[in-house]
Amino acid sequence: MYDLVVKNGRVVDGTGYPWFKADIGIEGGLIAEVGRDLTGLDTIDASGLVVSPGWVDVHMHADHTVLGNPRVDSYVHQGITTATMGNCGLSMYPLHKRRDDLIAYLKPFTSGLRLSWDWDSMDDFIKRVETSGLGINLVPFVGHGSIRINVMGFDDRDPTGAELDEMKGLLGESLNQGAYGMSTGLGYPPGTFSKEDELVELGAVINEYGGLYSTHMRNGVENLGDTIKLGHRAGFPMQVSHLGSSCASNPELGGRHAETTLRVLDEARVKGLDITADIYPYTAGSSLLSQVIPHWAQEGGVAKMLDRLQDPSIRAKIKGEFKGEAGLKGRDLTKVYVTYVKTLANKHFEGMTVAEIAEALDADGVDALCDLLIEENAEAMNITLWGEQRDVDVLAAHPAVMPCSDGWAHAPYGELAQGKPHPRCYGAFPRYLRTYAVEKGLFTLEEAIRRMTSMPAARLGLHDRGILKEGMKADLTVFDPDKVRDTGTFTDPHRYPDGIPYVVVNGRLAINKGKHTGALAGKIFRKRRS
């Protein structure tokens, strides 16, 4: 008699092996038996449903909201039971020397939640989250940007020897506290101000702890070459984050960005570089609205940027850049949607492009953008259309590319129901399964599940999750293969996906008949030093 038995389902075990019929017996948070005719104190009838390991998201940003939304609703509802945090260089920790600079930068990501911001180290942050509880498992990374801001703010220069030592110290502190690696955000400040030598130096510390280097690259596929060069020099394993948005923005490569990217990736793997990538299944990304502003105007941090944006001569310079050829694609204001603003006065702009807002105000686009950032104290978010669907298809089909959400935790109630966030926050994984496996047939259902489970688990070094077999931790996602789909859209994003009736986290039902049980069975893992 087990604690919980999932009966009569088709088991897709996460290895890519064809589905088979079995019951799953769960006891003490573990998968105790995969067999037949099992009985339990609690039983789920999974007839007609697929039973898979809980889905693992190798790249997301729910850590920015998890203290205000411990249930992590939009993630557990989309079948994700484990996810990384501290991505794109932007971890919520450490908050040491220049904590105010970092807090000002991270605030827009927190969707207006009132957080105490009174932790300092990663260890301290993890303890806060554990106190309030957690709906899914989290795998912590420490952000290079967060470390750099603590030591040298938003300065556009190389660190001095002493500053580099200080950065290494902060990196070592988080790794010693159990971080799985370091993430970078080289496409925007402050990561964009750092050069290869700095990353190689920090790489030595990553290697000391056996960590993973996870990178939001500088934009353009030519930077995949730089990333690979860095990997050969630094010698760490690498995960390229949201590959699509980075490779699509190189105007020189005509219409074959995806093929070029994959050729470069394959060549690096043949040469022995341990590099894999992830992609979110959409042609639009989302970030801070301030990231639409040129990087030079962001130097020095949020307050300095807002001061600059008041200056008519600086606005004129920005206007010149927006009209110029270089970077035109990324700065086309008809493709930049405002998705969240903090003040009530501007809420009606949510869901509109910057170009539409400018038209409504009878203003120039750059002026409208700058005024909005000033009025919102930079607490605003955007969605930017960057790509072609065919590129996303080609990239997603590659066997070294796994799916990610790159989203934030939201919920269709309370403060997190605000704004028009990217629909990936609710539906990235169901969409990957429905659109890319079932409808487009880019891979089988079993292969999709492998890329959503054992592949990211192995990449992160989680050897007790991601495969459904005896002795593994009991994270399960049970879905209807005919009904599973994302339902949120860019105009109506706050919608849970269909067809995921049961989710089990560490042996406890988190979603039961499509409803959150309120269970907070998630844990934050800490990497053990080998």
Q: Is 64 in the site for Zn ion (CB under 5 A)?
A: no
CB of 515 to Zn ion, least distance (A): 32
Of residues 327 and 514, the one with the C-beta less far from Zn ion: 327
Residue 500, token pair as written in the block = 């995921």
| Residue-wise burial string across 275-300, b where 16 or more C-beta atoms lie within 10 A, e elsewhere | bbbbbbbbbbbbbbbbbbbebebbbb
CB of 388 to Zn ion, least distance (A): 20
Give the pairing of strands 142-143 and 181-185: parallel
Of residues 410 and 450, the one with the C-beta less far from Zn ion: 410
CB of 106 to Zn ion, least distance (A): 14
CB of 88 to Zn ion, least distance (A): 3
Alpha helix ranges (H) inside 333-468: 354-361, 365-375, 389-397, 424-431, 445-452, 454-460
What is the Cα–Cα distance from 226 to 376, expressed in whole angstroms? 36
Residue 481, token pair as written in the block = 């293969």
Token pair 């050829």 is found at 325
- Asked whether the beta carbons of 384 and 338 are under 8 A apart, the reply is no
Per-residue x/- marks for Zn ion, 81-110, CB under 5 A? -------x----------------------
Contact stretch for Zn ion (CB under 5 A) within 80-88, 357-365, 376-384, 467-475: 80-88
For residue 453, give the DSSP letter.
T
The full DSSP string for 334-363 is TSEEEEEESSGGGGGGTTSBHHHHHHHHT-
| # residues near Zn ion by CB under 5 A | 2
Of residues 177 and 215, the one with the C-beta less far from Zn ion: 215
Of residues 86 and 203, the one with the C-beta less far from Zn ion: 86
CB of 90 to Zn ion, least distance (A): 8
Interacting positions 283-322 with Zn ion (CB under 5 A): none
Among residues 136, 144, 140, the alpha carbon closest in space to that of 88 is found at: 144
- Asked whether the beta carbons of 153 and 147 are under 8 A apart, the reply is no
Of residues 216 and 465, the one with the C-beta less far from Zn ion: 216
What is the Cα–Cα distance from 128 to 249, expressed in whole angstroms? 39
CB of 278 to Zn ion, least distance (A): 10
Of residues 183 and 506, the one with the C-beta less far from Zn ion: 183
CB of 61 to Zn ion, least distance (A): 8
Among residues 261, 240, 257, 239, the alpha carbon closest in space to that of 248 is found at: 257
Of residues 89 and 419, the one with the C-beta less far from Zn ion: 89
Per-residue x/- marks for Zn ion, 201-240, CB under 5 A? ---------------x------------------------
Residue 527, token pair as written in the block = 């990497």
CB of 2 to Zn ion, least distance (A): 41
Of residues 72 and 88, the one with the C-beta less far from Zn ion: 88
Q: Which residues bind Zn ion (CB under 5 A)?
A: 88, 216
